[in-house]
Amino acid sequence: MVIISGLTKYFDDICAVDHVSLEIPDGTMFGLLGTNGAGKTTLLRMLAGIIEADSGEIRIDGEEDSFSPQCKEKLFYLPDDPYYFPNASIQTMLDFYKKQYPGLDADSAAYMAESLNLDRDRPIRTFSKGMKRQAFLILALCSRTKYLFCDEVFDGLDPIAAEIMKNLFRQEMESRDFTILVASHKLQDLEDICGNIAILHKGGVVTAGDFRERAENVRKFQCVFPLEADLDSLRQHPSVVRFHEDARFITLVTRGNAEEIRKALEELEPIFLGEVPLSLEETFIAEMEGAGYDIRKVLP
């Protein structure tokens, strides 16, 4: 398990990470969501033992020093723009990583590369962006570390390439004890693979948790009311998070006990009342607006 407590990092007078506290359970895929500059990359680099925090604590399986060789062997950090030697091939990088990760599985790497039609002996610099990301994901997965920290791993990929990479994640998590922390500025990249997601904004954690569970308390209703219905009372109802009116067609997002909310709506004698599915993005929006955040500044 990764436990982050009060982690803070300044660059001169800029606070890049501001007292962040999170717990990342073993065997999960945990998402970090935030706009550019929210602190995602700095947080990942501290977890990977690349830069030191100014204050706070990181514990990886109880180990306090993420710079120690014991921690380094447990994790692989995959940055947005991975480094590779000039003219290096996948095979060259496999040979290099083998020195850092003794458990590296070269046979699995060869199998994955062949499955994705990647030539292990071809210079990586000649690959497309999507091919490069797939190549380094193979290197990361086949290093057989317990933890993988990824930064914008899906950015710029076409939908097919992104789905291929997500399937590689899923297969690896099913086959062994594996924990993934993936950062992105797009909710769409995370919502179908991450059970838990933390939202970062201006270096701090706005909210974190399993938003699929939270969605159980958030509902979306579409209604049509008679002209004499008191819509002001509905707008001001404490359970109403969002209220949108298009002529007499009302769309509501609510938080709280669904039966109590439906009863309050029925008391206004609606001509039509229906509940519609709520997307994960709408759940995020409800959480953010409920916490008093301008969603346009927090979510891309």
90-116 tens-digit pLDDT: 999 999 999 999 899 999 999 999 988
Domain with CATH 3.40.50.300 in the chain: 2-209
Helix (H) / strand (E) element for 110: namely helix 106-115
DSSP state of 217: G
pLDDT at residue 44, rounded to an integer:
96
Residues 180 and 95: their CA atoms lie apart, in Å, by 24
- More confident of the two residues 72 and 29: 29
pLDDT at residue 35, rounded to an integer:
82
CATH ID of 2-209, from 3.40.449.10, 3.40.50.300, 1.10.20.10, 3.40.250.10:
3.40.50.300
Judge whether 223 and 270 are in contact, CB under 8 Å. Answer: yes
Residue 18 above 70 pLDDT? yes
pLDDT at residue 290, rounded to an integer:
60
Burial class (CB within 10 angstroms; exposed 0-12, middle 13-18, buried 19+) of 79 = middle
Looking at residues 254-260, what average pLDDT do you find? Answer: 82
Domain with CATH 3.30.70 in the chain: 213-298
DSSP secondary structure, 10-70, as one string: EETTEEEEEEEEEEE-TT-EEEEE--TTSSHHHHHHHHTTSS--SEEEEEETTBS-TTSHH
The tokens of 123 are what?
């210079």
pLDDT at residue 299, rounded to an integer:
58
* CATH 3.30.70 given to domain 213-298: yes
* CA-closest candidate to residue 150, choices 36, 29, 57, 231: 29
Task: Compute the mean pLDDT over every residue in the chain, rounded to the nearest whole number.
Answer: 88
Tens of pLDDT, residues 26-65: 999 999 988 888 899 999 999 999 999 999 999 999 887 7
Residue 8 above 80 pLDDT? yes
Tens of pLDDT, residues 194-214: 889 998 988 998 878 877 676
Judge whether 60 and 146 are in contact, CB under 8 Å. Answer: no
Looking at residues 69-86, what average pLDDT do you find? Answer: 90
